[in-house]
Structure 1
């Protein structure tokens, strides 16, 4: 019997989905994952709305691509991959709301929504573990999505342990707050500290910063992600909680928007400072799987 891992090995999938080409995007993800041996990783991460694409300008435009939880194409892919690799798999997808939920939200807020920007988490036997809905909606989401009610944390077996999920703009300050690097607010980081989160996973469709466009990596964006998680590594903190952070982003272009790629893995420790927390990353243009051994 193999010796259980103490520190997780995490596969971070990054590619350039084509908007509306669900079958082709799934085929690309399968191709990229083909080289991952069973039982070699503990978690596979795929980005926000990975198979549908992201830049839809209206509820009408996205409606053909909305999925039911557990039975939609993203769930089917995750269940199949999780069972084959004997690991956990998490991916973002556009969730279809049932009619009664959409009608209730319209009655409460006056806003018409058709879905939610969601994530699905599956376990090693291909079983549904849980879901999460993006809480802090980006402007693109606001044309069609109902916001979630807060971040989600799952208690999983070692070596993953306490896993917290967020989606892209969840990392930004929630309106009406104006964020500063000193005073925050740092919603995701503070939540992780209260939950004793061992692993934070952010599934992103984060836009390129445009800074140093000839660089292989969007360092400006990666630095911003780290700054938004400042309480997890702040040098003056008297505590010493450690948090592994995975930011799984996508690349490519959609409807005039360019995504940053630059998926990254961080090892953050309170009181440790910012130096050296970036452990591994993919480039802007990479379409690949980064396998991060967090023990190294």
Structure 2
């Protein structure tokens, strides 16, 4: 199985131009060369909107929006699953908006819309919290979990740092592939190391308890015989005062609780990174 992250620097508000740029980056790939394609959070609209009034012209519905339509077309062309982020407006309820991702199958059918559960301060100016984390069974892939950027952090940065809400959810759900669309900002820490640290309950039993007993964890370990694959597709560039750090990555966690960074991009690269994880699944 080949998993791809498309890391690039979209221009805020230039949706069609950003879609053309992403399509051009994918032109050289043929069916069979990518099995799962992951793009960043709000990949085509840009991210740093200051209020709801600014983002209104770019809100899309989950069925026919321009981002979902792009994902469906690429899924069909590449014979690949495609995940990409966008700002969602609920059809029939225009006051309800979410920071969302669409997940499209190889046939170009939308199989999941996930709405960001933990909002960053930029989201709070226009979006509602999603109803909760998600992990679903996908034929041909297994148990697939979804995340968007801030979901990896403690809730509102107010919860205990060791709550590990996102990682513990996916531990309980026995997620086998975890896909995250990011608009992660540059900071003073190694980004990929931090993401791995936020996944601690998946590979260190010291942090696994919380909502499961130790016997539950042991039973889960006994049934897990394949790696967990974590994928983060981040963006690059600067919008207003926000600088994004790239570092898109594919990480594996073995049944023996060993974590390994398979490949990582740097903070400025604009490219499609393809990682073959067939030997791990």
**Structure-2-length-normalised TM-score:** 0.89
Once the two structures are superposed, the pairs formed by residues 79-94 of structure 1 within 5 Å of their partners are: 79-94=72-87
Match of 1:21 in 2: 14
How many residues of Structure 1 are paired with residues of Structure 2 in the alignment? Answer: 263
Per-residue CA deviation, residues 60-113 of structure 1 (Å, 9 max, x unaligned), is 0111111111211101100000011111101000001346463xxxxxxxxxxx
Root-mean-square deviation (Å):
1.7
Per-residue CA deviation, residues 221-261 of structure 1 (Å, 9 max, x unaligned), is 11100000001122767636431000110111001210010
The answer to whether structure 1 residue 199 and structure 2 residue 177 are counterparts is yes
Report the structure, 1 or 2, having the larger helix content. 2
Match of 1:110 in 2: none
Structure 2 counterpart SS, 1:29: helix
Match of 1:96 in 2: 89
8 Å contact from structure 2 (residues 62, 90) kept in 1:
no
Q: CA deviation at 1:21?
A: 0.5
The answer to whether structure 1 residue 128 and structure 2 residue 110 are counterparts is yes
**Of 254-263 and 149-158, the range deviating more from structure 2:** 149-158
Structure 1: stretches of 5+ with no match in the other structure: 1-7, 103-113, 212-219
Q: CA deviation at 1:278?
A: 0.6
Once the two structures are superposed, the pairs formed by residues 59-98 of structure 1 within 5 Å of their partners are: 59-98=52-91
Structure 2 counterpart SS, 1:91: strand
8 Å contact from structure 2 (residues 252, 261) kept in 1:
yes
8 Å contact from structure 2 (residues 263, 275) kept in 1:
yes
Match of 1:40 in 2: 33
Match of 2:275 in 1: 292
Match of 1:178 in 2: 160
8 Å contact from structure 1 (residues 246, 266) kept in 2:
yes
8 Å contact from structure 1 (residues 82, 122) kept in 2:
yes
Q: CA deviation at 1:40?
A: 2.0
Structure 2: stretches of 5+ with no match in the other structure: 209-217
Distance, in Å, in 1 between the alignment partners of 2:12 and 2:34 is: 29
Match of 2:214 in 1: none
The answer to whether structure 1 residue 282 and structure 2 residue 275 are counterparts is no
Structure 2 counterpart SS, 1:25: helix
Per-residue CA deviation, residues 258-292 of structure 1 (Å, 9 max, x unaligned), is 00101011001354344xx1111111111100111
Match of 1:108 in 2: none
Q: CA deviation at 1:293?
A: 0.5
Q: CA deviation at 1:53?
A: 0.1
Distance, in Å, in 2 between the alignment partners of 1:162 and 1:36 is: 26
Q: CA deviation at 1:154?
A: 2.2
8 Å contact from structure 1 (residues 202, 246) kept in 2:
yes
